[in-house]
Amino acid sequence: MIICGRLIASLTFSACAIYAQQKPAFEVASVRPAAPLDQAKVAAIIKGGKWPIGPHVDSRRAEYTYMDLRSLIEVAWGVRPYQIEGPDWMTSARFDIVATLPQGAPKRVAPVMLQSLLEDRFGLTAHRATVERPVLGMVVGKGGPKLKKSSESPVPIDENTPLAPGEMTLDGHDGQIRMRIDSVRNSTSMNYGSKGAVTRIDNPFTRSVHLEFSMTSMTGLAEMLSQVLTQLPGGIERQIVDMTGIDGYYDAVLDVSLSDMSAIPKSGAPEIPPGAPPAPAASGNSALPLTQAIQELGLKLESRTAPVQQFIIDHVEKTPTEN
């Protein structure tokens, strides 16, 4: 009887240990192909203070709206687009996911639950590997930095703080993002809390983008530039990595010509001598090639290699299993 009791206790302990090692999962989840965006519905959602595309987790309800597989992987594993290696078709189809978290589950485990869903419904398997990859190293230029020190330091976003008029929320990699869209200026402002803020104004007529950064570190500047410029049509394909060694928080303005993105030399941009006149911009357009716009800040982009953690897709299905 003693031996039997010990055996039962051992098996019970083993079963509990195995259960404890299992990934958290949503209580229920629906995965459906996303319908074309309904402009009236989109406007109503925005008016309610929520960006209609992307991840939103509120209490026990998790929504991932009009998202492709690559974007869902970004949210689930906390990786950036340039870190993901997988088939190109992952951005071709979009899905709407509505799920329920188990009672008492904290919001912070929702990404892990999304991992479980993608593995179960799309058969996704992947592994991480740190490899040397070509990057654009952001370094200090010969004339030294020309950066404006921020008068304030960034503060984390308190999700309990009511939204200001015109603000919307979006769940980001590191917490809530507060977003504001101005359709008249064609601008999008993103407050990342402790990482700082950026306002982006797109000009389709001059094929340029105006970027205003505030209260951002050099690491944050490199990360935000990577996020914006790798997602634009004709944008850069390499991650920008901070190699300046500069501490503190700064404000910066960049006017970048999208027409010159593909012209970044593999060996890095030649440095413009101090006092040299800038290259002429297109008529009525103050935007500069990316490498030269960076040099206006006393910085420089150089072709470097750096260890980058890659998220490598081993297998994924185009169509999810049925609900």
- 219/200 Cα distance (integer angstroms): 18
Last residue of a domain, one of 103, 127, 151: 127
Alpha carbons 278 and 64: distance in angstroms, whole number: 45
Distance, CA of 131 to CA of 308 (rounded, Å) = 6
Q: What is the pLDDT of residue 205?
A: 84
63 and 123 share one domain: yes
This prediction has a pTM of 0.69
Say whether both 111 and 211 belong to one domain. Answer: no
pLDDT of residue 219: 92
Overall domain count for the chain: 2
Instruction: Answer with the one of 80, 105, 127 that is the final residue of a domain.
Output: 127
Residue written as token pair 């009511």: 162
Same domain, 189 and 251: yes
CA-wise closest residue to 42 among 189, 183, 210, 191: 183
The answer to whether residues 148 and 110 belong to one domain is: no
> Residue 19 falls within a domain, yes or no?
no
Tell me whether residue 5 is in a domain. no
Same domain, 154 and 239: yes
Residue range of the domain that includes 264: 133-309
3 falls within a domain: no
Spell 66-103 as b/e; 16+ CB within 10 A means b: bbbbbbbbbbbbebbebbbebeeebeeebbebebbbee
- Alpha helices by DSSP H, the chain: 2-21, 39-47, 69-77, 110-121, 218-231, 290-295
Q: Which two tokens stand for residue 202?
A: 């797109």
Predicted local distance difference test score (pLDDT) of residue 235: 64
Q: Examine residue 322 and state whether it is found in any structural domain, yes or no.
A: no
In this structure, are 78 and 197 located in the same domain?
A: no
Domain presence at residue 159: yes
pLDDT for res 233: 62
**CA atoms of 14 and 20, how far apart (whole Å):** 10
Q: Which whole-number Å values give the CA distances from 163 to 129, 157, 181, 274, in the listed order?
A: 40, 11, 14, 45
In a domain? residue 7: no
Chosen domain end from 72, 94, 127 = 127
Give the mean pLDDT per block of 10 residues along the chain (323 residues): 45 41 88 88 75 86 94 92 90 95 92 96 96 91 92 90 83 82 85 91 86 93 84 73 94 85 46 42 62 91 90 96 85
